[in-house]
Structure 1
Amino acid sequence: MKNSVCIATYNGEKYIREQIASILPQLQAGDEIIISDDHSTDQTLEIIKSFKDNRLKIVFNETEKGYTNNFENAIKHASGDFIYLSDQDDVWLPNKVAVYSQEFQNYDFLASNAKIVGENLESTDNQTYFDLRGTSSGFLSDLIKAKSLGCCMAFNRKVLTKILPFPKNKDLCPHDLWILLMSEFYFKSKIIKEPLILYRRHEQTASTGGKHTNNTLLFMLKFRLYALFQVLTRM
């Protein structure tokens, strides 16, 4: 069975080498890493090419810029039986693919915990993402408060039949929430409580990482209603 790792990149020269180096040893010869780049202006692409590994495949996001469109582009180019999502600035722990491969025998969608680290991978009080967000799961629970990171998600290829194309309004339904809700509603899913990546927090991090946001109550209600409507229209 073939694994595809989808990475969305944009000006990630500072961390991308370390991330790719943590992933490649866990893959087999026939696996692939699909890197969708949002037209980086730094050395990101040169660093990727320097690995000289034919499992690394670069495509470009020619749609509207942004990480959700960039991930959608990567996923559309993936040919594997199992698709993993990865940010450009984290580090996978050495047993990640082995754990997921075992769990895929019984589940279609998986998301693990993550150990939160600083910019230089230093520990932040041994805190995990689930320490911040909680560990309850299920469609209704995650519709109210999503508790899984996109960079910790992986899914069986058949999930693509429901999640593609992504909803048009990316501000109200980002890729990680969309894939999480669709997988929990339509497929067999499992949340792995073991941390399987080092989740790097730094000034350029795109997501909130579980921290409090300043969105208004009205926006959050609109956010959830839009996501719910989009899920139900795929029935």
Structure 2
Amino acid sequence: MTERVSVCMATWNGEAYLREQLDSIFAELEPQDEVVVVDDASSDGTVALLRSIDDPRLRVHARAENRGYVRTFEEALGLATGDVLMLSDQDDVWIPGRRALFLDALESAAVAASNLVLLGSDRPLPPPVPGASWRLRAGQSRHRWRNELRILAGIAPYFGCAMAFRRDVADRLLPFPEYLDESHDLWIATFATRNRMMRHIEQPTIRRRIHDENASPSKPRGIAQVLRARWLLLRLWVEAARR
């Protein structure tokens, strides 16, 4: 049976880098696949650019009200119709072979996550804590407690743009918890880790673009923000056990 892939993307004022990202995605996809884009009320030319692209695999949903990236990704996932759902940011670049790597990983797991490298240098992302390991290892895919402790400590490199999962998992992940207002990728990683569904892909599949408008913060957070994030992750761990 031929697998159908849905790429789920949230956009917001992403005109500057969006075309390069979409070109790298379409080069990977098969004719039966789709790209579902939900735009979060952009004020630049993002929607016009999307609507100018003549590719039957592209589905664009433009929203009049801004609701934030978490709810925008949630909507895109809910609109997807594929057997495998891949998340994508609006400003990175896919590495050739990404689709095949994820489909191979998802033959033996329900959720997969890969490593990333920096666009322009192909070097690994710098770790948030000096000296910490900031790579996913295939042999540690099912280390439930280790991986969850790393998520709680903020040193687990799970990024939504480098994750994919099967349709039946999407039905359990959605809707996102109502209190989830950041880090939807860590909700997915927590759910997969808690339920021993995760598989790590050691090869990088994304070239990540770092710039001032990234939704994921690149600078250290204050103590209050760190404590709030840790509390959120504990709540997500409990929620993952319920679903």
TM over 0.5: yes
Percent sequence identity over matched residues? 34
Q: Aligned equivalents of 1:115 and 1:148: distance in 2?
A: 13
TM-score in terms of structure 2 length: 0.85
Q: Aligned equivalents of 2:108 and 2:115: distance in 1?
A: 19
| Aligned match for 1:101, one of 93, 100, 103 | 103
Do the aligned partners of 1:63 and 1:69 also contact (CA within 8 Å) in 2?
no
Match of 1:197 in 2: 206
| Aligned match for 2:5, one of 3, 13, 26 | 3
- Alpha-carbon displacement from aligned partner over 1:157-213 (angstroms, at most 9, x marks no partner): 110121011001123x6311111111222352211121111001000011025x532
Do the aligned partners of 1:139 and 1:181 also contact (CA within 8 Å) in 2?
no
- Alpha-carbon displacement from aligned partner over 1:49-73 (angstroms, at most 9, x marks no partner): 2220010001134776110000000
TM-score in terms of structure 1 length: 0.88
Give the root-mean-square deviation of aligned CA atoms: 2.2
Do the aligned partners of 2:187 and 2:236 also contact (CA within 8 Å) in 1?
yes
Q: Which runs of 5+ in 2 are unaligned?
A: none
Query: SS of the counterpart of 1:69?
Result: helix
Q: Aligned equivalents of 1:222 and 1:20: distance in 2?
A: 35
Match of 1:127 in 2: 124
1:1-235 to structure 2, matched below 5 A, reads 1-61=3-63, 65-117=67-119, 122-123=120-121, 126-128=123-125, 133-135=134-136, 138-140=143-145, 141-142=147-148, 143-144=151-152, 145=154, 146-171=156-181, 174-209=183-218, 211-216=219-224, 218-234=227-243
Do the aligned partners of 1:61 and 1:70 also contact (CA within 8 Å) in 2?
no
Do the aligned partners of 1:115 and 1:129 also contact (CA within 8 Å) in 2?
no
Aligned residue pair count:
227
Q: Which amino acid aligns with 1:192?
A: I
Q: Which runs of 5+ in 1 are unaligned?
A: none
